[in-house]
Structure 1
Amino acid sequence: MAGNFYAVQCPDCENEQIVFGKAASTVACAVCGTTLARSTGGDATFEGEVIETVERRDADGELADTGT
């Protein structure tokens, strides 16, 4: 499955959490419960700030070059 993982910072408690970019359900902060991402049927909508792309995968499921 192609998709990216992102480090997202919670807008309320500033906890950083890894979230899949195509989340199938609402993702809550593990510390305070604030919604970090909402499912849209495709790419998730992030409520918190995306700090970085942690891991990228191409359509074959292989790790993609992140340029770093």
Structure 2
Amino acid sequence: MKRKEILTPVPRSKFLRVQCPDCGNEQTVFSNVATRVKCNICGRDLALPTGGKSKILSDKVKEIG
């Protein structure tokens, strides 16, 4: 086989840098969360699990990786 024909699996999940709309705290979360992710400062929900990709309730700053 040619080297270009060999496919390498690439993960679809990523780490996201999100910002809390209430206090402005930036926090890193996984794109497929299994539990609720709350802000470390004020306690507001930032991401909720949905069975696949998580529902992000805050502002995404950037994707990491």
TM-score range, shorter chain: 0.7 to 0.9
CA distance in 1, matches of 2:51, 2:36: 11
Partner of 1:5: 15
Greater strand share, 1 or 2?
Answer: 1
Question: Which runs of no fewer than 5 residues in structure 2 stay unpaired?
Answer: 1-10
1:3: how far off? 1.3
Aligned alpha-carbon RMSD (Å): 1.1
Greater helix share, 1 or 2?
Answer: 2
Question: Which runs of no fewer than 5 residues in structure 1 stay unpaired?
Answer: 56-68
Ranges of 4+ aligned residues in structure 1 off by more than 2 Å: none
Aligned residues between the structures: 55
Q: Which of 1 and 2 has greater Rg?
A: 2
**TM-score normalized with structure 1 length:** 0.76
